[in-house]
Chains A and B, each alone.
Chain A
């Protein structure tokens, strides 16, 4: 007894420490994986005059390394309610393209996919939900905690300064707010490059770069696009800020930093251009993206809701009940571009001015010594 009292403090600490230390997690390998692969469909049909794409791939078993597994040699077509068929041809493995079709209002479309295995998949009829262009885009200077990957790829929460970008949407009509955005930021920048880098741009003309001296290196004009938000940007009345009759909807955060664009220390950004694509969704598409957003946002902490399943609008008609994933989306689309008034952005003086749309520009491209077409001047 006396011995216990003498050492009670240490015994108490030991017991509490063991309670806390004993609760833990470990990787669990015990669950059964399905052997059969499942078809995933990503099909987007818009009213834009641009090539329309259907991407077919197979799933990867959970826990395995995620790999692109294109589904090849499929017969893919879209049929409208008038019986007109638009066939999509495989342009690259698993990517099927049609350059003729352009979705129209008051017209229903059905996607049909016939695989070499004999399975036939078909979507529910989808009707285009038209959208109106954005009336304005505005922003506030702010600082925000963002995960920045370190050298090992580990996300490190870091405060970044930048501009939070918003647009206003009318709260009146629920149907008109079945909307998702695909906002991107287009960085337009210049930098002087050294001889070796210069030769990479003109590999066919070895002498070209010799005309430049080290004191007067050539200038590279580049444009590169980055998505503004990593996950799904959906208008969700539950989470929108309401100002009067309007939703103040966030399009994303434009960081002031240059770290995430391939820019050397002596380069400078000329302009930051916001590219917006506003897409009007059907009920099924909206539910799909909402579920996707919830799944992506889930931390799966202890008391979090159970799994969110993504229910698509495609079924297998040759084998009812066979799982098929993905979505056939027919959406009205409005693409617009806005340039930020100051570079770098200045607190208290943030404006976005609309310019002709530049969303057609490729993801990344540089021009040596030549100011490219559509170069925006501040």
Chain B
């Protein structure tokens, strides 16, 4: 190997470079330094780029020729379209920057890892950057239109030391997409850990505009939207419950996740169904000939994932499982209530990948998760999710790609009240939702200035709102079943992405959705101009099987615009309208898996959201520091709200307890992120308001006299500070501080006596707020070894949640008290419930081989 020392001055070489294969090592060095090289037999000669001219000296392996050399002179420009993938897993990489050096051409890879340029015919040099991966440089010889495939390698080890990426942001300068957060499995692993492991849902709640319901509570809120307004897709199928143990951890085992994207605004036309966000979770499309086992042993649960080829290069399988073992501990607790309690969960996932040729790909995915929760032998909660999907993707022609996904997602919920001392009220309540979907998507690249995406999406819903029956022979409970709801949703969409100039990008889309609710069903009629109540029922209409009960449809336009000043700054605008035909009815102080899903019907109109967003993106220090400022405004129509004391469970006239509201959400999100170096992390601040109002004529149909009131999830100020520091190559420390305004709540204001009963008068809806929330978590990780050739890799993570023992309010509620000396003879008291009131340590061992 021939070179001059001064070309690599100030660069400490690490021993780890010795683990690289030669071509990988040479790529790394040429990517980092202004040098190139050529090989002659076993000899490698380095040469400085300066004086040679870009791309004049190169190895043939790094030359990409697009088109036929015979076409030279025939065209002045040509279009190059490419796909970027992870070299190991072959998963498409979303959000990577592809740059033509010394030009203004910069693109960001889309959700399928694709990018496209219109370039002058001739020689170019491509640079591909993606945080967590090595930069890739290639020389491009362009003669006519064509397609290229590029692979990026991970395990980046820069010569100046260790770099660990914190996460990947899609809200970066390139591309029309804004308000987008992307992470791959590496990024997720680097995120702050809760209970010893990376957690997808928890991780996203640390991002601007995304807020957790609480330490205990399913789901998350995006830009002032409720939890049911988020479409969480697991391999293309929606998750109806995203949390284990009511929110302690998410139901998706991050080991299996290859990539997650969340889009908060400018949602592409191919997505609909929910109005606030889309979270697209992709499981591994793994390397078909690699075998790997990884997992983790924690204090609350353990997990294992196995990947293995079945038929080399053509068929592979990945299986993962996770299970808690808290029951064993509870049974051994020296407390009767705890001994009689249960809290356990498991989840299983599996993917079979089939690749008959380079242009065709099939995958079969299956998933099941289940939770059991019982406290002191009283109410027992059981909930279960099942997902199955089949995906085919392939090229139908040189410029036409298709993707077909069919599948189902089922969610079952059961609560059993089996009061050991009072069997008279013992009951079992079941509800479930069955969802089936088929989506056929096409990507067409007709000309060199735009790409088209179009498709159809068909969905079938079947909801069993509730079936109650006695769970003991002495129970007085009368069996009852609420009528099943059946509906279908159909959508067609088209989206056109136009690259007007290096500065201007535009994406225009239209989705048109049709919705129909079917019988069998019984719809009650009410007195006109009177509040709906069981007392104002005048008639009922019985609909037969498959007979149309209610029908809605509407256009959902989409628009995204980008103006880039240079490769480091841009301004983006987006607008989208979405209709949502399914709502989660929740009348409890906190979200929980027992909440009921409800389809749009004669009285419950589809929720409609119009969102406008504007963002300025600016990167510094060669894209190592990303900053962004986004503002948004959302207008909401047909928001489902509830009458005071609404009964949602087992209510066959549920429309009598629901109110129609409208509202708006607006806010601003500031984000500053450092992506590489020993210290990485981000700071984000979000201001957001979310207000609703009813418009009923009668007092029963009003909330707070039809004045605007804060929604349950309005938290005006939210601040996150996250820092990762690499103490050495093996040790790294992470800390996260979160602050947010307390959630709105309705509290008692007065007490009085009526007919010898003590009655409470409550404030206006959401008049008060819970105390502000803040918490500091820290985690320290020690890697056993970092050698690439060593098959067994392990790491220990010690995390402490809530380091300074803040008792953050999870719920504020009142209870009747027995007057006594201890409580100053009070008949009622307000209580604050907190989930984690002490520093909570967790130790986890993660491994792979």
A-B contact sample (12 more), CB < 8 A, given A305-B588, A323-B761: A17-B329, A18-B838, A33-B749, A61-B750, A65-B819, A145-B424, A174-B534, A287-B533, A300-B814, A302-B833, A306-B644, A311-B700
User: Does B398 lie at the interface of the complex (its beta carbon under 8 Å from any beta carbon of A)?
Assistant: no
- CB distance A26 to B832 under 8 Å? yes
Nearest A residue to B594 via CB reads A303
- CB distance B424 to A292 under 8 Å? no
Within 8 A of A (CB), among B590-645: 590, 592, 594, 642, 644-645
- CB distance B825 to A65 under 8 Å? yes
**Nearest Cβ in chain A — how far from B835, in angstroms?**
5
- CB distance A306 to B828 under 8 Å? no
Contact with B along A1-35 (1 / 0, CB 8 A): 00010000001110111111111111111111110
- CB distance A66 to B753 under 8 Å? yes
User: Does B565 lie at the interface of the complex (its beta carbon under 8 Å from any beta carbon of A)?
Assistant: no
* Partner of A25 from B646, B827, B831 at Cβ < 8 Å: B831
- What chain A residues lie within 8 Å of B828 (beta carbons)? 62-63
**Can you give 10 contacting A-B residue pairs, CB < 8 Å?**
A11-B299, A13-B332, A27-B829, A31-B830, A60-B752, A61-B750, A62-B750, A66-B752, A300-B814, A308-B645
User: Does B820 lie at the interface of the complex (its beta carbon under 8 Å from any beta carbon of A)?
Assistant: yes
Within 8 A of B (CB), among A216-253: 227, 230-232, 237-238, 241-242
- CB distance B299 to A15 under 8 Å? yes
- CB distance A300 to B761 under 8 Å? no
User: Does B77 lie at the interface of the complex (its beta carbon under 8 Å from any beta carbon of A)?
Assistant: no
- CB distance A59 to B590 under 8 Å? no
**Nearest Cβ in chain A — how far from B528, in angstroms?**
16
- CB distance B588 to A62 under 8 Å? no
- What chain A residues lie within 8 Å of B754 (beta carbons)? 40, 42, 292, 326-327
* Partner of A40 from B534, B752, B820, B832 at Cβ < 8 Å: B752
User: Does B323 lie at the interface of the complex (its beta carbon under 8 Å from any beta carbon of A)?
Assistant: no
* Partner of B832 from A22, A25, A238 at Cβ < 8 Å: A25
A14 and B55 alpha carbons, distance in the complex (Å)? 62
Nearest A residue to B748 via CB reads A62
User: Does B824 lie at the interface of the complex (its beta carbon under 8 Å from any beta carbon of A)?
Assistant: yes
A24 and B837 alpha carbons, distance in the complex (Å)? 8
- What chain A residues lie within 8 Å of B749 (beta carbons)? 33-34, 61-62
| Chain A residues at the B interface, C-beta cutoff of 8 Å | 4, 11-13, 15-34, 38, 40, 42, 57-66, 68, 144-145, 152-155, 157, 174-175, 178, 227, 230-232, 237-238, 241-242, 283, 286-287, 291-292, 294-296, 299-300, 302-311, 321, 323, 325-327
Query: SS class of chain B's interface: helix, strand, loop or mixed?
Result: mixed
- CB distance B338 to A283 under 8 Å? no
A276 and B826 alpha carbons, distance in the complex (Å)? 33
**Nearest Cβ in chain B — how far from A65, in angstroms?**
6
User: Does B706 lie at the interface of the complex (its beta carbon under 8 Å from any beta carbon of A)?
Assistant: no
Nearest B residue to A68 via CB reads B753
- CB distance A38 to B761 under 8 Å? yes
Contact with A along B158-202 (1 / 0, CB 8 A): 000000000000000000000000000000000000000000000
Within 8 A of A (CB), among B733-781: 746-762, 768, 771
A13 and B326 alpha carbons, distance in the complex (Å)? 10
**Nearest Cβ in chain A — how far from B481, in angstroms?**
14
Q: Which 10 A-B pairs have the closest CB atoms?
A: A308-B645, A59-B750, A28-B832, A309-B644, A16-B329, A22-B838, A62-B748, A307-B762, A15-B299, A305-B587
**Nearest Cβ in chain B — how far from A57, in angstroms?**
7
**Nearest Cβ in chain B — how far from A14, in angstroms?**
8
- What chain A residues lie within 8 Å of B819 (beta carbons)? 65, 153
Nearest B residue to A230 via CB reads B757
Nearest A residue to B827 via CB reads A66
Q: With A28-B812, A153-B818, A296-B757 given, is the CB distance from A307 to B829 under 8 Å?
A: no
- CB distance B843 to A11 under 8 Å? yes
A232 and B758 alpha carbons, distance in the complex (Å)? 12
- What chain B residues lie within 8 Å of A283 (beta carbons)? 533, 535
User: Does B840 lie at the interface of the complex (its beta carbon under 8 Å from any beta carbon of A)?
Assistant: yes
User: Does B421 lie at the interface of the complex (its beta carbon under 8 Å from any beta carbon of A)?
Assistant: yes
Nearest B residue to A304 via CB reads B588
- CB distance A295 to B751 under 8 Å? no
Q: With A144-B424, A154-B818, A307-B746 given, is the CB distance from A302 to B752 under 8 Å?
A: no
- What chain A residues lie within 8 Å of B104 (beta carbons)? none
Q: With A59-B752, A295-B760, A326-B754 given, is the CB distance from A31 to B700 under 8 Å?
A: no
Tally the A-B contacts, defined by beta carbons under 8 Å: 219
* Partner of A24 from B299, B533, B834 at Cβ < 8 Å: B834
- CB distance B588 to A59 under 8 Å? no
* Partner of B835 from A12, A22, A28, A32 at Cβ < 8 Å: A22
- CB distance A302 to B830 under 8 Å? no
- What chain A residues lie within 8 Å of B751 (beta carbons)? 59-62, 64, 66
* Partner of B826 from A4, A11, A65 at Cβ < 8 Å: A65
**Nearest Cβ in chain B — how far from A5, in angstroms?**
10
User: Does B473 lie at the interface of the complex (its beta carbon under 8 Å from any beta carbon of A)?
Assistant: no
- CB distance A309 to B762 under 8 Å? yes
- CB distance A305 to B647 under 8 Å? yes
User: Does B815 lie at the interface of the complex (its beta carbon under 8 Å from any beta carbon of A)?
Assistant: yes
- CB distance A27 to B421 under 8 Å? no
- What chain B residues lie within 8 Å of A15 (beta carbons)? 299-300, 840-843
A23 and B807 alpha carbons, distance in the complex (Å)? 9
A152 and B822 alpha carbons, distance in the complex (Å)? 12
Contact with A along B421-442 (1 / 0, CB 8 A): 1101000000000000000000
- CB distance B588 to A303 under 8 Å? yes
User: Does B311 lie at the interface of the complex (its beta carbon under 8 Å from any beta carbon of A)?
Assistant: no
Q: With A15-B299, A20-B338, A31-B768 given, is the CB distance from A305 to B645 under 8 Å?
A: yes
Q: With A16-B326, A65-B825, A144-B424 given, is the CB distance from A306 to B589 under 8 Å?
A: yes
- What chain B residues lie within 8 Å of A232 (beta carbons)? 755, 757
Within 8 A of A (CB), among B807-823: 807, 809, 811-815, 818-820, 823
- What chain A residues lie within 8 Å of B755 (beta carbons)? 42, 232
User: Does B478 lie at the interface of the complex (its beta carbon under 8 Å from any beta carbon of A)?
Assistant: yes
- What chain B residues lie within 8 Å of A62 (beta carbons)? 747-751, 760-761, 814, 828, 830
Nearest B residue to A321 via CB reads B705
A327 and B755 alpha carbons, distance in the complex (Å)? 11
A65 and B826 alpha carbons, distance in the complex (Å)? 6
A227 and B756 alpha carbons, distance in the complex (Å)? 10
A157 and B420 alpha carbons, distance in the complex (Å)? 12
- What chain A residues lie within 8 Å of B233 (beta carbons)? none
* Partner of B761 from A21, A59, A296, A302 at Cβ < 8 Å: A59
**Nearest Cβ in chain A — how far from B816, in angstroms?**
8
User: Does B333 lie at the interface of the complex (its beta carbon under 8 Å from any beta carbon of A)?
Assistant: yes
* Partner of A23 from B333, B642, B836 at Cβ < 8 Å: B836
A145 and B474 alpha carbons, distance in the complex (Å)? 12
- What chain B residues lie within 8 Å of A174 (beta carbons)? 534-535, 537
- CB distance B299 to A12 under 8 Å? yes
Nearest B residue to A241 via CB reads B478
- What chain B residues lie within 8 Å of A307 (beta carbons)? 644-645, 746, 748, 760, 762
A62 and B749 alpha carbons, distance in the complex (Å)? 5
A195 and B589 alpha carbons, distance in the complex (Å)? 60
**Nearest Cβ in chain A — how far from B657, in angstroms?**
10
- What chain B residues lie within 8 Å of A231 (beta carbons)? 757
User: Does B648 lie at the interface of the complex (its beta carbon under 8 Å from any beta carbon of A)?
Assistant: yes
User: Does B699 lie at the interface of the complex (its beta carbon under 8 Å from any beta carbon of A)?
Assistant: yes
- What chain A residues lie within 8 Å of B587 (beta carbons)? 305-306
- What chain B residues lie within 8 Å of A31 (beta carbons)? 747, 768, 812, 830
- What chain A residues lie within 8 Å of B424 (beta carbons)? 144-145
A294 and B648 alpha carbons, distance in the complex (Å)? 13
- What chain B residues lie within 8 Å of A16 (beta carbons)? 299-300, 326, 329-330
**Nearest Cβ in chain A — how far from B377, in angstroms?**
14
- What chain A residues lie within 8 Å of B837 (beta carbons)? 22-24
Nearest A residue to B768 via CB reads A31
A18 and B843 alpha carbons, distance in the complex (Å)? 13
**Nearest Cβ in chain A — how far from B345, in angstroms?**
14
- CB distance B768 to A292 under 8 Å? no
**Nearest Cβ in chain B — how far from A59, in angstroms?**
4
